[in-house]
A and B are shown apart, each in its own frame.
Chain A
């Protein structure tokens, strides 16, 4: 659950978000849209706990151990293999039955064959799939996805469509996108930033 009231974020003198009010109930799917520079990424970073509001209130449940975050960067170490990256995050999040969970996600996202490749050797689309595996690894209750379709090819995008549809029932989702039509059937609410 996320509840924001009068949310404001400034970087120096630049006001990125101003007077934002919204609520995302548990199990909801909120799509955030807006042009470049409208503050979509800032909003998602605030909700993930990666930034602190300048004014207003922001309540986020659950705590960060149950949040999955996909940002613009894949947040994986380039010199580690796909398997090593997921193992590192699995240990950090104390994922039960870690190896089985990692194997299942790599299979599901079509990365099993590339599991021993260093992340630096993966294509942009494979990196995005690996980043999705990382975000989903600890079975988060709240999933925050910033432009999740970015870098994915047609197959990858269809796979993500299916994943999002599957998650829709079990998780709370906050997703920013430039292509709201794609996930319109899943959404329970929309937030357009100017």
Chain B
């Protein structure tokens, strides 16, 4: 219900998804011209993951904009629902935006650089879960602070390093299984931690 509300708000305001789409396409175009011709697949996939992480960061930065600007987190915290439900709903909405951005980004990457394998797609989907699990928690923390635009990348990027390692590994390694398993493990651990700690983040 809360996730549906976020999707409806985005359909009306259109201030997150178009920005994410434009950003990821721009970044891939810039990388296309910045990367020397004949560069390795390894470098290209590295850049894909950089683009995905920063596009996600853009979406996460806006995840709590309505709640922050209109004080609405109070209303959600007061409601008789498990407060971690807010985290779950924001995560689902952010995941939806990210998947849509990637539906455009992956074909664009294939066009500019090299085709993507099923292992890459599986890696991207698993990474999305981890990004949203950790990112929404950090976004809520940053929303409560004053230097939120600075705080979110500072908190998120170090925690996203394992996602980049797992994602690039799944994209380029011969046997991608262990990297996918690593991403799944990351998702499970951080989803559990974020679920358990979200209540403390939104209460004061």
User: Which of B13, B70, B75, B204 is the most central at the interface, judged by chain A CB atoms within 10 Å of its CB?
Assistant: B75
Q: How far is the CB of B169 from chain A (nearest CB, A)?
A: 41
Q: Which of B1-9, B23-31, B123-131 contacts A (4 or more CB under 8 A)?
A: B1-9
CA distance A102 to B79 in the complex (A): 17
CB of B1 within 8 A of CB of A79, answer: no
CA distance A84 to B9 in the complex (A): 11
**Chain A hits for B5, CB < 8 A:** 77, 80, 88
Q: Which B residues between 1 and 48 are near A, CB-CB below 8 angstroms?
A: 1-2, 5, 8-9, 12-13
CB of A79 within 8 A of CB of B80, answer: no
CB of B66 within 8 A of CB of A51, answer: no
Query: Total interface residues on B, using CB and 8 Å?
Result: 21
CB of B75 within 8 A of CB of A89, answer: yes
Query: Total interface residues on A, using CB and 8 Å?
Result: 29
Interface string of A72-87 (1 = CB under 8 A from B): 1111111110001000
**Chain B hits for A84, CB < 8 A:** 8
Whether B158 sits at the interface, judged by CB under 8 Å, is no
CB of A80 within 8 A of CB of B70, answer: no
CA distance A64 to B75 in the complex (A): 11
User: Which of B1, B79, B204 is the most central at the interface, judged by chain A CB atoms within 10 Å of its CB?
Assistant: B79
**Chain B hits for A92, CB < 8 A:** 1-2, 76, 79-81
**Chain A hits for B149, CB < 8 A:** none
**Chain B hits for A75, CB < 8 A:** 70-72, 74-75
Q: How far is the CB of A42 from chain B (nearest CB, A)?
A: 11
Whether A6 sits at the interface, judged by CB under 8 Å, is no
Q: A51-B204, A91-B1 are in contact. Are A77 and B9 (CB under 8 A)?
A: yes
Which residue of B has the minimal Cβ distance to A78? B70
**Chain B hits for A73, CB < 8 A:** 70-72, 74
**Chain A hits for B147, CB < 8 A:** none
**Chain A hits for B71, CB < 8 A:** 71-73, 75
Q: A77-B9, A79-B12 are in contact. Are A50 and B1 (CB under 8 A)?
A: no
Q: List 8 A-B contacts (CB under 8 A).
A: A48-B78, A50-B74, A52-B203, A63-B80, A73-B70, A79-B13, A89-B79, A92-B81
- Shortest 6 CB-CB contacts between residues of A and residues of B: A65-B80, A73-B71, A75-B75, A92-B79, A79-B12, A79-B9
Residues of A within 8 A of B (CB): 48-52, 63-65, 67, 69, 71-80, 84, 88-89, 91-94, 118, 134
